[in-house]
Amino acid sequence: MIDDERIPDPEPSGALVPAPHLPSTAVAGATPWTSPSSRDDDLLVARDFFTRVVRSTFDALDNVGDSIATAIGLR
C-alpha cells in the first residue's frame, strides 16, 4: 500500500477536520436495595468452615512439633 492511498481526500474548503462527534452520555440510576441473600449466608458458612480447617491443621502440626521437640530433648 502506497502512502498516497492512505491520505484522506480533502474537504471542499480545503480543511481536513473530522466530522463533528457528540460524546455519548452515560445515565446512571440507583440500584434497588435487596435483602441479603442465602448466597451471603453460604459464603459466611464456607468462610467459617475454611477457618476451622486451617486452625485445626495448624493445631495438629503444632502438636506434632511439640512431640518431636520433647522426643529429642529440646523441651
Does residue 14 form part of some domain? Answer: no
Does residue 2 form part of some domain? Answer: no
Q: Which residue range is the domain that position 48 belongs to?
A: 37-75
Does residue 25 form part of some domain? Answer: no
pTM, 2 dp: 0.46
Structure letter (DSSP) for residue 64: H
Q: Write the DSSP string, 13-61.
A: TS---PPP-PPP-----PPPP-PPPHHHHHHHHHHHHHHHHHHHHHHHH
Does residue 57 form part of some domain? Answer: yes
Q: In the block, which residue shows the cell 468462610?
A: 47
Q: Is the pLDDT of residue 20 over 80?
A: no
Does residue 19 form part of some domain? Answer: no
| Total domain count, the chain | 1
Is the model more confident about 6 or about 42? 42
Residue 6: which pLDDT band, with cuts at 50, 70 and 90?
A: confident
> How much is the pLDDT for 14?
60
> How much is the pLDDT for 61?
97
pLDDT in tens, 25-35: 777 777 777 77
Does residue 15 form part of some domain? Answer: no
